[in-house]
Amino acid sequence: MDPYKYRPSSAFNSPFWSTNSGAPVWNNNSSLTVGTRGPIMLEDYHLVEKIANFDRERIPERVVHARGASAKGFFEVTHDISHLTCADFLRAPGVQTPVIVRFSTVIHERGSPETLRDPRGFAVKFYTREGNFDLVGNNFPVFFIRDGMKFPDMVHSLKPNPKSHIQENWRILDFFSHHPESLHMFSFLFDDVGIPQDYRHMEGSGVNTYTLINKTGKAHYVKFHWKPTCGVKCLLDDEAVMVGGANHSHATKDLYDSIQAGNYPEWKLFIQTIDPDHEDKLDFDPLDVTKTWPEDIIPLQPVGRLVLNKNIDNFFAENEQLAFCPGVVVPGIYYSDDKLLQTRIFSYSDTQRHRLGPNYLMLPANAPKCAHHNNHHDGFMNFLHRDEEVNYFPSRYDPVRHAERFPIPPRICTGKREKCVIEKENNFKQPGERYRSFDPDRQERFIKRWFDALSDPRVTHEIRSIWISYWSQADKSLGQKLATRLNVKPSM
């Protein structure tokens, strides 16, 4: 009997109840007791197995992005960018690659409402012929911080107070008052786009800077952008209260129902590219995730389209056990020295090893769909069928060899060991430009949200003054309006 062929699957369901080991269960309603009313016997194996499995149905939720929904579909190349990358799945227009996508909120728990003001995750797993590529991003093109060293503290400040278990503005404003780099992200989060109407009507961004490499080894920095074909729609604060009060899973339901009805969500993929040799011409560091690349200087280039045309078969298997990592790339796509990306390469896979176990990449949702071979084996929950005698490399008994060499960025790294910030911080220019792009009503809503946050009774006069100073440096009129309403003078 081939154990791989008959691995656990609902396709092999028995017409009668059985234990996990396959033995028939003649009574799935009553425990084995001593007499009709006596105590339950420990030898009731099926009862113990059933309860023990139930006790372990929940796995640790993600520390961030715990609340999410997934769907499957395909990515199709529409424009030739083979001059920029040798990635096989981008080799020519018309090429299609199966994908699975997970949307999520970031800070709040697995059962939290999907209408809270919070960034949204937008993660795409491409099942390519050369292995998986995980494009893990958000609905905003920037982030709060530029160095992963700050990430745990940042999340702690955004999470509920460990004493009261309530998310509180004073904690958030206190932490970020030390980090003016966060202003650009807050210009998105406190804007109308801070609460997407649903997952179908929001943009996505890779956020981090990656590198594309072509066949000759020429490298370009790249940012990825998803644009929904149905447009961007958001909920204003009062609308979010009504929608969330009626259904705390409204975005998950909308995604599922839309696909079920044949109204398939679709996004266009665009990229921006920079020749690394020209990066010094910019007034900001292109590897700084708190910055966007101005589209009038670095235009969007169309690449392809993403279509979600199939709902997942099982929420646990294809959403809770679905795992992404920015370190999962394919030949033709590589990392950059983006400090946040460098941290994420480790942290994402590490958290999944904690949540799902060391062999989480064997789970069907995470496993590559192409042939693959290595000597990573054994460990908790390893279910790969192996009958090889050689589990080392190299060996004259095993014909496996190195793959063909593919190019990676050729830059030479030099410098002394040191902990430092980037030289071109430029924290205030882009947030100010974004605020000035709003119409007057949108500016007023933005100001009101900041007024409400800074009015928290536990926000000190010092912290209010710092924030007003930050926003004054971004836009003088914005700072003045906040100062007037809060009766605080900015301390420039």
Residue 112 lies in a domain: yes
131: left (phi over 0), alpha (psi -120 to 50) or beta: left
Neighbours of 408 (CB within 10 A): 14
| Structure tokens belonging to residue 405 | 């060499």
SS3 219: strand
pLDDT for position 10: 63
**Residue 465 to residues 55, 184, 352, 383, 480, Cα–Cα distance (Å):** 50, 18, 41, 58, 11
Single out the residue in 362, 391, 410 at which a domain terminates: 362
Which residues are tagged catalytic?
A: 65, 138
Q: Are residues 75 and 197 in the same domain?
A: yes
C-alpha–C-alpha distance, residues 208 and 214, integer Å? 20
C-alpha–C-alpha distance, residues 99 and 75, integer Å? 7
Q: Are residues 345 and 454 in the same domain?
A: no
Q: Are residues 210 and 316 in the same domain?
A: yes
Cis peptide before 394 (omega within 30 of 0): yes
Residue 390 lies in a domain: no
pLDDT for position 490: 58
- As averages over each run of 10 residues, the pLDDT of the chain (492 residues) reads 56 77 86 88 88 86 95 98 97 98 96 96 96 97 94 95 96 97 98 98 98 96 98 97 96 98 98 94 95 97 98 96 95 94 92 92 92 84 84 88 85 82 93 98 98 96 96 97 88 55
Give the CA count within 13 Å in the CB-facing half-sphere of 186: 23
Residue given tokens 């926003």 in the structure block? 471
Q: Which residues pair with 99 in a beta bridge?
A: 73, 126
C-alpha–C-alpha distance, residues 379 and 358, integer Å? 7
Closest CA to 406 of 219, 208, 276: 219
Residue 187 lies in a domain: no
Single out the residue in 343, 362, 381 at which a domain terminates: 362
Residue 33 lies in a domain: no
**Residue 413 to residues 33, 279, 284, 416, Cα–Cα distance (Å):** 71, 16, 20, 10
* Count of H-run helices and E-run strands, the chain: 12, 10
Residue 59 lies in a domain: no
Residue given tokens 């062999």 in the structure block? 359
| Structure tokens belonging to residue 345 | 């390469």
CB within 8 A of 113, min separation 6: which ones?
Answer: 244, 248
Full domain range(s) for residue 279:
68-175+193-362
Closest CA to 352 of 29, 136, 138: 136
pLDDT for position 5: 57
Q: Are residues 284 and 143 in the same domain?
A: yes
C-alpha–C-alpha distance, residues 358 and 329, integer Å? 19
SS3 349: helix
**What is the per-residue DSSP string for 272-304?**
EEE-GGGGGGSSS-TT-TT----TTTS--EEEE
**Residue 71 φ/ψ, nearest 5 degrees:** -155, 160
**Residue 451 to residues 41, 172, 421, 448, Cα–Cα distance (Å):** 63, 14, 31, 5
What's the domain count of the chain?
2
Q: Are residues 334 and 452 in the same domain?
A: no
Q: Are residues 301 and 435 in the same domain?
A: no
Q: Are residues 448 and 358 in the same domain?
A: no
Decide: 271 and 223 in contact? Cβ < 8 Å.
yes
| Start-to-end CA span in the chain (Å) | 77
State pLDDT tens for residues 45-97. Answer: 888 888 888 888 888 999 999 999 999 999 999 999 999 999 999 999 999 99
Q: Are residues 346 and 438 in the same domain?
A: no
Residue 182 lies in a domain: no
Q: Is 73 exposed, middle or buried (0-12, 13-18, 19+ CB in 10 A)?
A: buried
pLDDT for position 290: 97
pLDDT for position 414: 81
The amino acid at residue 384 is L
pLDDT for position 388: 85
Q: Is 348 annotated as a binding residue?
A: yes
Beta strand extents in 387-439 (DSSP E only): none
Single out the residue in 315, 333, 362 at which a domain terminates: 362
Decide: 368 and 132 in contact? Cβ < 8 Å.
yes
Residue 18 lies in a domain: no
| Structure tokens belonging to residue 118 | 């919070």
CATH number where 149 lies? 2.40.180.10
DSSP code, position 342: H
